[in-house]
Structure 1
Amino acid sequence: MSIEDIDDTTGPLTNTNTGTGTGTGTTDDLLRERAHAELAAARTRTAGLTDVVSDPDLTAQHSPLMSPLVWDLAHIGNQEELWLLRRVEGREAMRPEIDPLYDAFQHPRSERPSLPLLGPAEARRYAAEVRGRVLDLLERTPLEGTPLLDGGFAFGMIAQHEQQHDETMLITHQLRAGPPVLAAPDPDAPWDGAAGNGLPAPEVLVPGGVFTMGTSTEPWALDNERPAHPRETEPFFIDTVPVTNAAFQAFIEDGGYTEPRWWAAEGWEQVRRHGIGAPLFWHREGGQWLRRRFGVTEPVPPEEPVLHVSWYEADAWARWAGRRLPTEAEWEKAARYRPETGQSAGYPWGDADPTPDRANLGQRHLRPARAGSYPAGASALGVRQLIGDVWEWTASDFLPYPGFRAFPYREYSEVFFGPAHKVLRGGSFAVAPAACRGTFRNWDLPVRRQIFSGFRTARDV
């Protein structure tokens, strides 16, 4: 899902293993525990992103591309009330007069500061009151009987919606001027220096043939991930790691931003119109490339995956390198296909949930790990960092799968299908662990650069 264009839909939803109802609790008990934990984790993260700045910072618009942080805070509560208290429980609206203010389809982000929004204290009180009622509802509602309740979908949807806005708010923090207010340790995962050494990147052969794309069994999966269906690919090579800063710098030094032959026409127009000559937040000083990261200016680390590049920049780099972006189907096959069984796993490493040794997720760090990290998270074919670190642009437009059915409403995904949006896969360091899996589909406009986006490349056999 696009974290830039959609504010009232959910993001990726966790791979929920509901069990069989045996052991220490019933299926409903296990689902409630999971939903409660995810709701709590999301709210803790929301508080961490909003409590570290002053009220004027919360109400300010730090970029016309983003909402004021206080809008996200109240919108989180409003959507939780709408779907859980009104749609599931059948309550009357708590504050019907604010619904239009927090409807993302009514008000573009650039207009939201002019709206009569709830102030910081009032937004916190409103979100907290909604949450208290929701937790009571969770304790007494059967998690079955309707599509919204089956498998606890509605509660998982809302937990993930909040986590998606947390990622959006983290982007706002990156765009915010002023001293740093966020801190986190650097990634310390095992690292294969050879894998992240630049050009050419190591690659592996992905066999041709049919694999299962999408899902029909994950209870919290989004409509655009459904249904599971056979998809055939030709054999292809794909990078085992994302493209690094060092590799992207080689493109810059070779005049990549001055050569129209590498660029799609619309991308070249963007370069010329806006004077683009490097990834967003980079600048050159004294012969060295520096970047700004959450209020800190630092040398660009050569081994990290390149970050804050548009689809056009990713596509241009791939053409310059004699390669191409993988299609969405190729990306998912590289991530999920297990040649020993012919089956598709939930994640590159198998069906177990993400853990810190497998992927850089959940804002545990405020940067990608070096390319070549997380050997425990490699796919069966040996491709690393397909989950976490950076969102990866693909060559594909955002389109429905065969047999697609909109749920819970058309604006969830359907209205965004078409050539205007490109698909990104895999999540970033800003995506919650419970909110990322091998079938999740993100999408955004190809001009977007402020998102936590990078890429890897492929080539035909």
Structure 2
Amino acid sequence: MTTSALAATAAGPDRVGLLARYRDVRRATERLCEPLAVEDYVVQAMPDVSPTKWHLAHVSWFFETFLLRPNLVGYEPLDPAYRYLFNSYYNAVGPQFSRPARGHLSRPTVAEVYRYRTHVDAAMARLLETAEAGTLLRIAPLLELGLNHEQQHQELILTDLKYNLAVNPLRPAYHGVVAPRGRSAPPLRWLDVAGGLQAIGHDGAGFAFDNEGPRHTVYLRPFRLATRPVTNGEFMQFIADGGYRSAAHWLSDGWRTVQERAWQAPLYWEPRDGEWWTQTLAGPAPVDPHAPVTHLSYYEADAYARWQGRRLPTEQEWEHAAADEPLRGHFQDDGVFHPVPAADTGGLAQVFGDVWEWTASAYAPYPGFRAAPGAIGEYNGKFMVSQMVLRGGSCVTPRSHLRVTYRNFFPPDARWQFSGIRLADDA
């Protein structure tokens, strides 16, 4: 992992900056929980989602395990059992409580989990305020990793809450901020992108996850990339044309999944009086035909692209096309938590934010990748199989968390993330 410029100033480690950033990220997580009732914290409606309470504890476990225990002299855990309960998948740390059973944990209570966060926060402040300069410089990369890890869980808190609330027949709302409507999506145009030898991956300046490097050279053929994501209205045409009823455009595994799970539309869509409605974090709402379609699996994204006579971009094509695009868009920071129609920017629109964009690339290590030794090397490397890469971030991703080289990844049948489609084609 590379680290950020917060680690040091000309006078030495930037203790004030490190602590301020730590507190800012931790407060942001807790602000996301302010609308919740205590009952909302404990629901786990399917194995892939986790209760909000577990997220709050796990991110604290990360700081306790990788920073406090090894580096703060005299640190005492609030409860030794938390080392087991809130370990996600780090085998080098020890055994883990079953992921599908996290919703069974009525104890520790929500109040006790918040006390755990307070305990860890106080200890982290002592560490950052009192550690020797050399220690601070050494642990700064781990601190930055922990903060980006917490930002990932901020996004998961929202996507998991959305799923957990959506299975409730009362269709409860998480908050009252309704996504704006009324703007039409700009026409879908095509950007011609030159191919050739191109550098892909993180260049080492600032923080990046280990899976974003090493930077390396690839050869790309000239290609075309759509100037905006596919909209709900465009995806409705796929549905109306029998897209979910015909195997013609589906991968074999995708068609089997459609049949086994009786998919007929994107996740959360349901017909009401001749219209499509969807569940949002603000409750049920009519589907906005101009907003980007979301909550699609890779299988659905690929089938739609084939139906259009197009394809999905590879992650290398996506990164090359987006390399010079400014980091602007609709993010978690805006507080809406739902995709909105694209603005007509004249170039690539909604490259960042709104919806993660499925690519045609399997999640695999870059040439020369080596996982770090020890438990921290389990963060990304051991998941590099049976998953597909998504790029660009979503409406629930913190803006400061994103880069053009960021590689997200999920299994091809995953739908509960804010995942959508940007089409590509050969030039």
The reply to whether TM is greater than 0.5 is yes
**Equivalents in 2 of 1:406, 1:260: separation in Å?**
40
Matched residue type, 1:157: L
Which amino acid counterpart does residue 423 of structure 1 have in structure 2?
Answer: V
Structure 2: gaps of 5 or more residues = 90-95
- Contact (CA 8 Å) 2:211, 2:407: kept in 1 or not? yes
Which position in structure 1 is the counterpart of 2:81? 97
1:361 aligns with 2:346: no
1:127 to 2:126 alignment:
no
Q: Could you say if the C-alpha distance between residues 142 and 229 of structure 1 is closer, same or farther in structure 2, counting changes exceeding 3 Å?
A: farther
Question: SS of 1:257's equivalent?
Answer: coil
Q: Tell whether 2:274 aligns with 1:287.
A: yes
Match of 1:206 in 2: 193
Q: What is residue 73 of structure 1 aligned with on the other side?
A: 56
Q: SS of 2:316's equivalent?
A: helix
Quick one: distance in 2 between partners of 1:27 and 1:370?
46
> Aligned partners of 2:8 and 2:52: how far apart in 1?
41
1:40 aligned counterpart, secondary structure: helix
**Are 1:410 and 2:377 an aligned pair?**
yes
SS of alignment partner, residue 368 of structure 1: coil
Aligned to 1:3: none
User: What's the TM-score once normalised by structure 2's chain length?
Assistant: 0.89
Q: Is 427-436 or 96-105 further displaced after alignment?
A: 96-105
Alignment of 1:183 onto 2:176: yes
Aligned positions of 1:284-433 closer than 5 A: 284-336=271-323, 338=324, 348-349=325-326, 354=327, 358-364=328-334, 365-372=336-343, 375=345, 382-407=347-372, 409-418=376-385, 420-433=386-399
* Residue aligning to 2:42: 59
Partner of 2:231: 244
User: Within 2, Cα distance between the matches of 1:407 and 1:248?
Assistant: 42
Instruction: Give the partner amino acid of 1:371.
Output: A
**Mapped partners of 2:405, 2:372: distance in 1:** 17
Give, in whole Å, the separation in 2 of the partners of 1:402 and 1:254. 42
Moved more, 86-95 or 102-111: 86-95
Aligned residues: 412
Q: Which amino acid aligns with 1:130?
A: V
Poorly superposed stretches of 4+, deviation over 3 Å: 15-22, 32-38, 87-93, 140-148, 183-189
1:168 aligns with 2:156: yes
Listed as ranges, the gaps of 5+ residues in structure 1 are: 1-9, 339-347
Counterpart Cα distance in 2 of 1:400 and 1:146: 30
Deviation of 1:229 after TM superposition, in Å, equals 1.3
Matched residue of 2:81: which SS?
helix
- Contact 2:268–2:279 (CA<8 Å) still a contact in 1? yes
Identity %: 36
Q: Distance in 2 between matches of 1:171 and 1:239?
A: 26
Q: Match of 2:93? A: none
Match of 1:52, SS state, is coil
- Displacement of 1:18 in angstroms is 5.3
Alignment RMSD: 2.6
Residue 22 (structure 2) aligned to one of 39, 45, 55 = 39
**Aligned-residue offset at 1:96:** 2.3
**Counterpart of 2:207 in 1: which secondary structure?**
coil
Partner of 1:343: none
**TM-score, scaled relative to structure 1:** 0.83
| CA spacing shift, 1:226–1:33, aligned 2, 3 Å | farther
